[in-house]
Structure 1
Amino acid sequence: MLKNIVLFLLIFAIFGVTAANAPTFASGYNLDIMARWTGLYGIMAIGAAFVIIAGGIDLSMGSMVALVGVQFGILINDQNMDPYLAMVIVLVGAMLIGLGYGLLITKLKLQPFVVTLCGLLVLRSLARFLAQDNKISNFVRPEGGTDIAYLTNWHVPYLGIPLPLVMLAVIAIVSSLVLNKTTFGRYLKALGNNEQAARFSGINTDWITISAYMICALMAGISAILFAIDLNSVGPNEAGTFYELYAIAAAVLGGCSLRGGTGSILGVVLGTAILRELYQAIETLEFSELEGTVIGVVILVGVIADEIIRRVVDARRRKREANASSEIAASG
């Protein structure tokens, strides 16, 4: 809770400092861009959080965005398929890829880093092959098809909140309930904390791991569709590049431990908002060369904070255990 309050205050601090140096940062146009893209990236970051809490990692989310975007474009442009049917098909395909990751990790005991690194390469290559290295455009209004521009252009009346941010809020609420109020969520955290102990306690750890990767793939697929519609084009070489780093950085900044077992969906949303705000601030202040530095520092700070917190918690636990032992010895 305290960390979420700090993140919330940090959002206002970054906004105030940047707006003081560049008044255009507080313009309605700029705020709309930040809100819309926070929604787009935040959905993907929530998917990354599920995998990280389970003690895994997914390095292929950016390539998943490219592949799903290309497939979506081909279906609605070349095949003249209804956009909503195309969405269902590509999202099912994304979840099947997540299922494949989970099976490789649980049944063949491969390391998540290796599996998803290979996925990063394979999915990007498939996207390039399907698109023949060409950009696919016209997602917003396919000729003779349904206009789906509202998925990123629509705003809540009188409030001006873009639909992607509304979708992020809905997905975040559902994800938070799943993580904190369901058996699956408790099992997911138990798996991340200690896989062997979770297995000995009767938890089907393989199923939990597979589910986490399928959820992550689904969230990446949803983001891919929204990115494609928002940009109205997908380039197989450029789409989703380094997006997995944004997702992981947002999750880590939001309190997800890379060791697994802990994480807050609200923290992930706030972490995403901070990253997008920092990105927009860098662009506004014309320091775009520092984008990679910011992401790297954010991940490093998150890992350092996680390590410090872990050591403090371990020290307190050892102290409590020592005090309890002393009391038992004294009473005996």
Structure 2
Amino acid sequence: MNKNTLGILGLFILIFGITWASNENFANGYNMTNLVKWSSLYAIMGIGVAFVIITGGIDLSIGSVIGLVAALMALAIKHEWNPGLSVVLLLGLSLVIGLMHGLLITKVKLQPFVVTLCGLLFYRGISRWLTDNQTMQYPNTEGLDSFFSGKVALFGQFSLASPFFYLVVIAILAAFFLNRTIWGRYLLALGNNEDGARYSGIQTDRLKIIAYVICSFLAGVSGLLFAYELDSVQPAQTGEFYELYAIAAAVLGGCSLRGGQGAIFGVIIAAAVIRLLRNSINLVGISTHLEFAIIGLVILGGVTADELIKRFVAKRRTAQVNAAKS
């Protein structure tokens, strides 16, 4: 566990302790169930965008992909498509979206910000058009409902919801890919120095495409999880701003926007911090109108502190090296 992850874990423990001391209802089973569930949903999105950020890119379309998948799932059910086949097709669509983003960025040489910003607008517009901007639900799909939003009761009111188990599987696979495979090391090398990686024989374009495919695929998975968790889709609102939560979780969790750095466990803890902040604001009695302002300040403070600590450690290490030489 690196220092950045330890720092964000310390922040989580601090906020958790303060909230628990301020409101005894914070630690009840029902609230803990919701905290784990929503933290898991945020973390799945964060892991997806972490792969993109590690390459030095960005993906602003995550929230709109979530909304598009949720809307198309509702339309498929309305038109009596096979639910299982619909899930497979929508996950396939998510892969195609990621592939399209990757090709536009690597082959057409468009900026990731521009490509994914256009995706954000396009997918949201398509969702609203296909559904006539009407709220839709998911009737007669009890099997999928239990698969995507079921719960495993443990003790009292505390249960582990389906998103938690999805997160565990995704996190293990993502951490293994990033830390235990040659492609993960190539991905980090690409983010650190793209030209150097390319000259050393690494297929940088292919790695970038893979990163965007992973990101969009996990956005598609999140879309299905959110759809069945909310039990409805509002095309204009479902997934709105979720890309910002995902990016914030990745950056706060240790991913450098310059690329070449990232830890899956750090992203998960950071996602939990963001969700914990929202929960704490409600329970402590702070005005919900200040919710985004407080979350923004805490994230800014955390990232700033991390950057200052990194600079201090780097200067200290340089001074020690110079002292040893002299």
Structure 1 length-normalised TM: 0.90
The residue that corresponds to 1:8 in the other structure is 9
Q: Deviations over 1:44-99 (max 9, x none)?
A: 11001111111111111111111111011111222x12322211111110111111
CA contact (8 A) 1:65 1:224 kept: yes
- 1:315, CA displacement in angstroms? 4.1
Output the amino acid matched with 1:257.
S
- 1:268, CA displacement in angstroms? 0.4
Report the Cα distance in structure 2 between the residues aligned to 1:320 and 1:191, rounded to whole angstroms: 30
Moved more, 220-229 or 153-162: 153-162
CA contact (8 A) 2:54 2:262 kept: yes
CA contact (8 A) 1:70 1:136 kept: yes
5+ unaligned residues in a row in structure 2: which ranges?
none
- 1:28, CA displacement in angstroms? 1.3
3-state SS of paired residue (2:273): helix
CA contact (8 A) 2:191 2:259 kept: yes
Change beyond 3 A, Cα 1:193–1:305: farther
Alignment of 1:272-287 (within 5 A): 272-286=271-285, 287=287
- 1:157, CA displacement in angstroms? 4.6
CA contact (8 A) 1:257 1:306 kept: no
Report the Cα distance in structure 1 between the residues aligned to 2:218 and 2:69, rounded to whole angstroms: 11
Q: Deviations over 1:137-187 (max 9, x none)?
A: 1x2xx33x4532222132155573222112111111110000000011011
5+ unaligned residues in a row in structure 1: which ranges?
328-332
- 1:111, CA displacement in angstroms? 1.1
Equivalenced residue count is 321
Output the amino acid matched with 2:54.
I
Alignment of 1:12-161 (within 5 A): 12-78=13-79, 80-137=80-137, 139=138, 142-143=139-140, 145-150=141-146, 151-155=148-152, 157=154, 160-161=159-160
Report the Cα distance in structure 2 between the residues aligned to 1:101 and 1:192, rounded to whole angstroms: 18
- Alignment of 1:294 onto 2:290: no
Report the Cα distance in structure 1 between the residues aligned to 2:288 and 2:255, rounded to whole angstroms: 27
- 1:282, CA displacement in angstroms? 1.0
Q: Deviations over 1:9-67 (max 9, x none)?
A: 32222122112222222221111111111111111110011111111111111111111
3-state SS of paired residue (2:144): coil
**How much is the aligned-residue C-alpha RMSD, in angstroms?**
2.1
Change beyond 3 A, Cα 1:310–1:112: farther
3-state SS of paired residue (2:90): helix
- Alignment of 1:253 onto 2:252: yes
Report the Cα distance in structure 1 between the residues aligned to 2:229 and 2:116, rounded to whole angstroms: 27
3-state SS of paired residue (1:216): helix
- 1:289, CA displacement in angstroms? 1.3
Report the Cα distance in structure 2 between the residues aligned to 1:168 and 1:34, rounded to whole angstroms: 14
Report the Cα distance in structure 1 between the residues aligned to 2:212 and 2:162, rounded to whole angstroms: 26
- 1:295, CA displacement in angstroms? 3.3
Output the amino acid matched with 1:17.
I
CA contact (8 A) 1:55 1:259 kept: yes
Report the Cα distance in structure 2 between the residues aligned to 1:312 and 1:91, rounded to whole angstroms: 45
Output the amino acid matched with 1:155.
V
Output the amino acid matched with 1:64.
V
Report the Cα distance in structure 1 between the residues aligned to 2:256 and 2:17, rounded to whole angstroms: 29
Output the amino acid matched with 2:117.
L
Point out which structure has higher relative CO (alpha carbons under 8 A, 6+ apart): 2
Report the Cα distance in structure 2 between the residues aligned to 1:84 and 1:315, rounded to whole angstroms: 56
Change beyond 3 A, Cα 1:58–1:305: farther
CA contact (8 A) 1:257 1:303 kept: no
Report the Cα distance in structure 1 between the residues aligned to 2:319 and 2:205, rounded to whole angstroms: 35
